[in-house]
Chain A
C-alpha cells in the first residue's frame, strides 16, 4: 500500500483538531457527526431497553400485576417507537455509515456536510418532541398507529409522537440522499463501483429505501395527525374513508424499513466475514446485487402484513409469492458468507464472533419469515408472539449484533484505542446466549396462540407462563451482556491500548490512514488500484500459504 501516506505520529486527528462544545455542535466533519449520532442513539437504545425490561417483567405472571393495562400498552408502544425510529433505523447508517463511507471510498467527507449536520439536528428535534410526548403522558397506539384507534379512540399523545416521527423521517431522508450523492460523485480515482466494499453497496441500497419509503410514511403519519386534529376522515369509515388504506400506506414504508435496518447490518457482516478470514468475499457481485434486489423487492411485499386484514384473497396470493422472492437474495448472502470462510484464515476476534453469530441468527430470523409469508400459516401466526420472535431475530439478532460487531471492529479507528479483547469475546457470548433464550421461546408461544400486545394471558395455560419466564430470564442475561460493552468501551477511551493505524492488518481504505484519522481523512487523495478485500495480489491466486505481508506502519 505504498501510495498511502500515513501520519507517523498521532498528532492532529479529528478528535483533537478542535476543542469545546461548539466545535462539536457546529462540526461539519462526518466523523464527529457520527459520534454525535452514536451518543444520541445509545441514549435512545437505553430508554428503549428499559421499556423492554418492563415488558418482560410484567409477562412473568399471567395476571398483569406489575402495572395497569394502560401503562403496559404505553410501555410496548414506546419500546417499539423508540427502538424502531430512534435506534434501529439510524443505528448503523448514521454512526458507522456516516463515519466510514467517505473513508472507504477515499473521500474527505460526505457530499453535503452541512446537510449531514442538519440531519442530526432534525433527528434530535424529532427525538426531543417524542421524549416530550412520552413524559407528558405517553402514547398507547402501538408503534404501527393503526387507525381508527390512533385517530379517534386513543386518549394519548398521538399527535406529538406522530410529529416527532414525521420530523425524524427527514433526518433519514437527508442521510440517504447524502450517501447516494457521495457514493455517486465522491469516489477516489480508481475506486470503481465493483471495487467498493460491500458495506458501501449495502448502504447504497439502504439509502434508496430511505429516500423512496420515508416520504410515504411521513405523509401517512401527518395525515393521521391531521385527521385526529381536525376530524376529517380520510381513514375513517364513518366518513367514507378506509382504515385499511392506512395499513397499505404504513406498510409500504414500514416493510422496506425492515430492510433499512437489516441491509446495513448485512454490509457490516460482509466486512467482518471477509476481513477476519482474510479472504475476498465469495461471489462479490452476487452479494452486492442481492442488496439492491432486496431493496427493490422490499417495496413489493407490504401486503403480507394484511393477510388477515380483509385484503382480497388474490392480493394475498400475489404478496405471498413476492414475499418468498425476497428470501432468495437473502439466502444468496448467507451462502456466500459461509463460502467465504472456506479455506480462509479465520481469527476469533470479538467482531468476528458477532459476525458469525449474525449468520446463525439471521438464518433463523429469515427462515421463520417463511411461516409468515406462507398464507395459511400466517393466518394462524399473524399478530402472535411468533411474529414478535421473528422480527426480533432479524432486528436484534441481526441488526444489533452486526452493530456491536461493527462497533468493535472499527473502534480502534473511531477512538484510537483498542477495546479489551477478553471482555469483548465474553460479552459477545453472553449476548448470543441471552438473545436466544429471550426470543426462541416466543416462537412456541406464538404458535400456541399467545397474541402480541397482551398485558395478561389466561392463567390456566401454564405452558405459556413457563415460556414467558424463560424469555424473561433470557432478557436479563441479554441485558447484562449489553451492559458489559458499555462499560469496557467507555473504559477503553481512557485506558485502552493505543491502536495502530491498521491494527487488524487489512487492505480496506479506512485502515490506510491514522487512527483516529485526521479531519480530512487522507493527507493526499488515495488512488485505488486494488479490488476490495485484496489480501493477496492477483498473481498469488494459485499459491496457497504465506507471502510477505506489507507492514502498513513501520514502528
Chain B
C-alpha cells in the first residue's frame, strides 16, 4: 500500500501520516477521540466495582470502617502525592513536546516513569503488609487464606484487626476483596501506563515528535491522567471514609 497515497494535494504529507487519513489534523483528532472513548469504557469497567463498593458499604458500614482503618493512611497519602506530581510531570512532557523542547520532554517522561514506579513500589509494600496480616481475601493465595487476628478490646497491636461494634470478620473480608480488586486493577493500569511511557520515551529519544506531530504524547498523557484520577477516587473511598471513627481502632 503506497504511503501517503491519500494526502490531499496542498499539504506535503508528513511521514507519520497513515495512508487512510486525509491529513495530520484528522489523524490527531481520531487518535484523541479514540482515547477519550476508551477512557469512557474504562470508567464503566471500574464503575461495576464502584457500584459493588457503594452497595456493600451501605450494607456493612461498620465492617468497612474497621477494615478501612487498618489500611496504612500514610502510605496511601504519599502515593496520592506521588501520582499528583506525576500528573504534573506528564503535563509538562506534553507541553514541552508541543513547543518542541525535546530534552525537557525526555526528562519529564523519565520523571513520570520514576514516580509511577515509586507508586507501584509503595503499593507493593502495602500489599505485603496485608499479606503479613493474613488479609488477602478468600484463598486468592491458597497457602495463606484470609485469617486476620482480631484485636481484643484494649489491644493496640496495629497488625491485628480492630473491629468496631457491628463489624464482622466476614464482612471485613468483603472490603478487602473490593480493595484488592480495585487497587489491583488500578495497579495493572499503572503497569500498562509504564509500558506506554517506555514506548513514548523511545520515540521521543529518536526525535519522532515535533510541534507538528505530538499526538502520541498527548494521548498517552490522557491515559496517564485518567489512571491518576481513578486513584484520586480510590484513596478517599478506601482509606479515608470513616476515619472519624478511628477512636475505636
Contacts and interface: CB of A to CB of B under 8 A. Distances in A.
Interface of A: 107-113, 115, 173, 176-178, 180-182, 184-186, 211-216, 218-220, 223, 226-227, 229-234, 239-242, 245, 249, 519-520, 525
Given A177-B38, A525-B22, A215 B48 contact: yes
B65 to A, nearest CB: 15
5 contacts: A180-B33, A182-B30, A186-B30, A219-B48, A233-B173
B66 to A, nearest CB: 14
A177 B22 CA distance: 20
Contact of A177 (B37, B56, B168, B177): B37
B137 interface: yes
Question: Which 6 A-B pairs rank lowest in CB-CB distance, beginning with the nearest?
Answer: A232-B138, A215-B45, A109-B20, A230-B138, A108-B20, A215-B44
A113 B42 CA distance: 21
A249 B51 contact: yes
A240 B140 CA distance: 18
Interface of B: 1, 5-6, 18-22, 26, 29-30, 33-34, 37-38, 40-42, 44-49, 51-52, 55-56, 59-60, 137-140, 168, 170-171, 173-174, 177-178, 181
Contact of A111 (B5, B34, B139, B178): B34
A524 B47 CA distance: 44
Contact of A240 (B19, B21, B29, B60): B60
B20 A219 contact: no
Contacts, number: 121
B41 A185 contact: no
B35 to A, nearest CB: 9
Contacts of A219: 45-46, 48-49
A181 B52 contact: no
A214 B52 CA distance: 17
Nearest to A252: B48
B181 A223 contact: yes
A181 B60 contact: no
Nearest to A220: B48
Contact of B34 (A109, A177, A520): A177
Given A177-B41, A525-B6, A230 B48 contact: no
B20 A240 contact: no
Given A108-B6, A232-B137, A245-B52, A186 B174 contact: no
B74 to A, nearest CB: 28
A173 B140 contact: no
B177 to A, nearest CB: 5
Nearest to A232: B138
A211 B59 CA distance: 30
A240 B168 contact: yes
A181 B30 contact: yes
Interface centre among B41, B47, B137, B139 (most CB of A within 10 A): B41
A181 B47 CA distance: 23
Interface centre among A110, A181, A182, A232 (most CB of B within 10 A): A232
Interface centre among A110, A181, A245 (most CB of B within 10 A): A181
B19 A232 contact: no
A215 B177 contact: no
B41 A240 contact: no
B174 to A, nearest CB: 5
Nearest to A519: B1
Contacts of A108: 6, 19-20
Contact of A181 (B1, B33, B48, B138): B33
B177 A234 contact: yes
Given A111-B30, A215-B45, A220-B48, A240 B138 contact: no
A272 B52 CA distance: 44
A241 B33 contact: no
A214 B140 CA distance: 26
A110 B59 CA distance: 46
A211 B48 contact: no
Contacts of A233: 138, 170, 173-174, 177
Given A177-B37, A519-B1, A216 B30 contact: no
Given A184-B30, A216-B44, A520-B20, 7 more contacts: A215-B48, A219-B46, A230-B139, A230-B140, A241-B174, A245-B55, A525-B22
A232 B44 contact: no
Contact of A185 (B26, B42, B55, B56): B26
Contacts of B56: 234, 240-241
Given A216-B47, A218-B45, A232-B140, A211 B37 contact: yes
Nearest to A18: B1
A212 B38 CA distance: 10
Contact of B41 (A184, A214, A226, A230): A214
A226 B56 CA distance: 18
Contacts of A181: 30, 33-34, 37
A216 B45 contact: yes
Contacts of A520: 1, 5-6, 19-20
A266 B240 CA distance: 49
Contacts of B48: 215-216, 219-220, 223, 249
Contact of A234 (B6, B20, B44, B174): B174
Contact of A186 (B26, B138, B139): B26
Contacts of A211: 37, 40-41, 44
A188 to B, nearest CB: 9
